[in-house]
């Protein structure tokens, strides 16, 4: 089993790059069907979603825009609980079909606190696409429309997700040993 070391920790491969790509393709196909004739605006939440957002967006075949925003801070292996206001949101969201692109929904706190600020701007719709979901960790229910993988409540890195800034640079996903 392939392992990587990030800082002081060892992680083992949990989802291969090929398995991830296959799933991302399936999500893109679904989104293309659901948004036929529409012009969605993808809002990719930095930093963790950059790889998922890029792979997903490359396979979108409806007219679409993408914007990258930053909303939350995360340190170490647990959510800090602090949610920072969004940076980089310049678009007018009124009447737009929004698709939020997240790396992982853990407790749900980040999106729970972020969604009202989007709703205030009266978009036509809001859907959430998340690469990963940890159902066991949920404390704030948020409606997830497109989920790449539901995973156990263990810390993961790779495919854009970090451990204290490192480990984002892998096409596969790794789980803490
Ligand atoms: P939530 O607000 O849903 O608890 O947390 C979402 C954020 O926590 C994610 O965007 C991500 O930055 C971070 N996070 C939660 N679980 C993990 C994990 O297993 N690995 C990494 N790298 N980040 C995580």
* 163 in any annotated domain: no
Tell me whether residue 79 is in a domain.
yes
Please report how many Cα atoms fall inside a 13 Å half-sphere around the Cα of residue 30, on the Cβ side. 15
Residue 83, C-beta contacts closer than 8 angstroms, at least 6 positions apart: 71, 72, 73, 109, 110, 113, 114
106 in active site: yes
Which residues have C-beta atoms less than 6 Å from ligand 1? 48, 72, 74, 79, 102-110, 155-157, 161-163
Q: State the pTM of this model.
A: 0.94
Quote the pLDDT of residue 147: 98
Active-site residue, selected from the candidate residues 34, 106, 162, 164: 106
The residue whose CB lies within 8 Å of the most ligand 1 atoms, and thus the one to mutate among 77, 106, 152, is 106
Residue 111: inside a domain: yes
Q: Is residue 1 part of a domain?
A: no
Is 176 within a domain?
Answer: no
Q: How many domains does the chain have?
A: 1
CATH code, domain with 13: 3.40.50.2020
Instruction: Give dist(CA 140, CA 162) in Å, integer.
Output: 22
What's the confidence (pLDDT) of residue 81? Answer: 52
Residue ranges of the chain with pLDDT lower than 50?
Answer: 73-75
């Amino acid at each position: 089993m392939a392992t990587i070391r990030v800082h002081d920790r060892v992680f083992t491969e949990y989802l291969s790059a090929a398995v991830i790509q296959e799933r991302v393709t399936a999500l893109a196909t679904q989104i293309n069907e659901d948004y036929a004739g529409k012009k969605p605006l993808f809002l990719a939440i930095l930093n963790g979603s950059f790889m998922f957002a890029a792979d997903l967006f490359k396979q979108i075949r409806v007219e679409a825009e993408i914007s990258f925003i930053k909303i939350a801070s995360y340190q170490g292996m647990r959510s800090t609980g602090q949610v920072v206001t969004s940076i980089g949101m310049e678009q007018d969201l009124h009447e737009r079909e929004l698709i939020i692109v997240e790396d992982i929904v853990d407790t749900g706190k980040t999106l729970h606190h972020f969604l009202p600020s989007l709703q205030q701007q009266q978009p036509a719709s809001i859907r959430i696409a998340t690469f990963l979901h940890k159902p066991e960790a949920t404390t704030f229910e948020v409606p997830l429309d497109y989920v790449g993988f539901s995973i156990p409540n263990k810390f993961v890195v790779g495919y854009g997700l970090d451990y204290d800034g490192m480990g984002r640079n892998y096409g596969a996903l790794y789980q803490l040993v």
